[in-house]
Amino acid sequence: MYQVLYRKYRPKVFSDVVGQEHITSTLSKEIETGKISHAYLFTGSRGTGKTTCAKILSKAVNCLNPVNGNPCNECEICKGLDSGAILDVVEIDAASNNGVDSIRDIRDEINFTPASCKYRVYIIDEVHMLSIGAFNALLKTLEEPPAHVKFILATTEVHKLPVTIVSRCQRFDFKRVSPEAMKQRMEYIADCEGFTADDEALSLIARIADGGMRDALSLLDQCTGHGKHISADIVCEVAGMTGKDHLFSLADATAQANAGKALEIVNDLHANSCDMERLCSDLINHFRNLMIVKTVKSASEILVCTAEELEQYKTQSGKLTLENILYCISLLQESMANIKRGVNRRIEMEMAMIKLATPNLSSDNEALLRRISDLEVKIKTGAVAVAPQAVAVPEAKPQEVPKETTSVTPSVAHTPDEYPAEEAKAEVQQEESADSEMPIDWAEVLSELTKTNMPLWGVLSGSSAIIRGDYVLIKSDNPTLSAFIKTGGNAKDVKEAIIRVTGKRYRLGLYSGAPTPKMSAQPAAAPKDPLENLISRAKDMGINVDVNN
């Protein structure tokens, strides 16, 4: 009868256990010195060797001729335990025997001495599945068992165990097996079984197994059904890693802000019976891979993919910023929760794709960071969108034109829900201010207006603007601007376009010349000394200041 690889090549001594040297060396030393605990707790993820070490330990403590802390596997006790003829080692599955009655049976049995072995050993697998009553029934027995009884508890979820149970055991934490150790073990098994495997294929199996040796051998066993030679393509086919083109297409659609294309892809996948929850999960993993490629130098050691797919990830990650990728992951995780509790999964997925392709629909911090990051990239690369017509600078007042046109990238963007009544009137008159002038990316503001108000963009064509205090002052030779901007919601549209570009809310005004000080009746030169400035302002307000006192 055929025996699967992970059972056929299960280690029989501690030295054969892969990747757990920190545990196997301690256990073998305890057996050599005779310092054996009455209770052990083995924790770790699946397929890391917990049950295997428990079986080796149960044989080693009963072996008639132990060798360096390992069972000899030759004496009658070792052979009897391997064949199941000796029943002094009892393996219990706590998932199906999790009641109080099962623990009471153990408590009654331990009073009897073992029939053939030195110790009666109880291996309780998945011990976290025991009920609260069963744990309470086990406490006293686990703390002070008879001298001829040993307990070995194994679990993948140690956080579910009561502290009173954990404190009564010697705890050993099993690590995930490294890909290198898995690869060496699979090469050894391949030599023993008489088949060959490419180096890339074994590395791919090791990464897919995610630290579980049993998963790696199970996948290797499946691959051997395709022939005596295992290639990376066979591993991809067996593991179901083929057919990721739709994920790259969806990511490209979001990067290009093409919501229509994204919805077409989702529609095609839905027509082919693709589960929307699985699609959302796969897309989250896809953006996670892009995040790893974007941040880690040796991404090939972390990602589970072929060399060809890795190049695709590198190419696509170059089109996206890290803020963009993180925003996509965050939004998709929220959508995953909505898909699970929603009525129509397809609608939830379609909404998620539209939000990914249109970040300005969302006002949360992640969406704003994505938009700011995209704007920074456009500024650095010179790809900032400009108005179709060039911005004209008035020749009559060249000294009033800002010398630099660098745009200001806001740290926090905020779009007000409503404007005060006095602002809604759009009184576009310049208020005198002594604040310094700052440049504004007016071309970007005009570009935003093309999306919302084309007539207003036509009136503002050829204009420029500056920032003075809390005002944006518009320079234009168009005599109809003042009347046009007061009508309808034109002023509000300009303000919202300014907010989208600068991230700040400004009032509007028309530029008419150099500002005059507000508090002084006649212009005066700015004082050089701060104290003189303070005295001057006090005198303007009618306060008599005696500097000699």
Q: What sign does the dihedral 434-436-441-442 (CA atoms) show?
A: positive
Least confident of 261-275, 342-356, 429-443, 494-508: 429-443
Band (373; pLDDT cuts 50, 70, 90): low
**The token pair that represents 351 in the structure block:** 């909404």
Identify the structural domains of the chain with CATH numbers, from first to last: 5-173 (3.40.50.300), 179-239 (1.10.8.60), 245-379 (1.20.272.10), 398-510 (no CATH), 519-549 (no CATH)
Question: Residue 538 corresponds to which amino acid?
Answer: A
Phi-psi region of 197 (alpha: psi -120 to 50; beta: other; left: phi over 0): beta
Residue 546 has pLDDT above 90, yes or no: no
Q: What angle do CA 264, 268, 271 make, to 5 degrees?
A: 135
Q: What sign does the dihedral 7-9-13-19 (CA atoms) show?
A: negative
- Rg of the chain over Cα atoms, rounded to whole angstroms, equals 37
Instruction: Provide the 10 A C-beta neighbour count for residue 127.
Output: 30
Q: What is the pLDDT of residues 338-366, one digit of tens each?
A: 998 888 899 999 999 998 888 777 655 65
How many angstroms separate the CA atoms of 249 and 247, rounded?
Answer: 5
Residue 178 has pLDDT above 70, yes or no: yes
Determine if the pTM surpasses 0.85.
no
Residue 424 has pLDDT above 50, yes or no: no
201 close to 235: Cβ distance less than 8 angstroms: yes
Please, is 498 exposed, middle or buried when counting C-beta atoms within 10 Å of its C-beta (0-12, 13-18, 19+)? Answer: buried
**Per-residue pLDDT, 200:** 87
Tell me the pLDDT of the chain averaged across its residues. 81
Selection from 504, 491, 498, 494 nearest residue 421 by Cα: 491
Q: What is the pLDDT of residues 205-256, one digit of tens each?
A: 988 888 899 999 999 999 998 888 999 889 888 887 667 889 999 999 988 8
- What percent of the chain has pLDDT above 90? 41
Selection from 216, 215, 170 nearest residue 57 by Cα: 170
Where do runs of H (alpha helix) occur along 46-160?
A: 50-60, 76-83, 100-109, 132-143
**Per-residue pLDDT, 437:** 79
Instruction: Provide the 10 A C-beta neighbour count for residue 76.
Output: 11
Beta bridge partners of 67: 70
139 close to 100: Cβ distance less than 8 angstroms: no
Q: What sign does the dihedral 130-133-137-140 (CA atoms) show?
A: positive
Write out the H or E segment, with its range, that includes residue 114.
none
Spatial CB neighbours of 61, under 8 Å, sequence gap ≥ 6: 31, 36, 118, 119, 121, 150
How big is the chain, counted in residues?
549
**The token pair that represents 26 in the structure block:** 């301690």
Calculate mean pLDDT across residues 473-501: 83
**Per-residue pLDDT, 412:** 33
**The token pair that represents 240 in the structure block:** 């179901």
Q: Cα–Cα distances in Å, from 239 out to 48, 234, 235, 292, 334?
A: 20, 8, 6, 21, 28
Calculate mean pLDDT across residues 418-436: 42
**Per-residue pLDDT, 456:** 80
Least confident of 364-368, 416-420, 479-483: 416-420
Q: What is the pLDDT of residues 278-305, one digit of tens each?
A: 899 999 999 999 999 999 988 888 887 8
Band (390; pLDDT cuts 50, 70, 90): very low
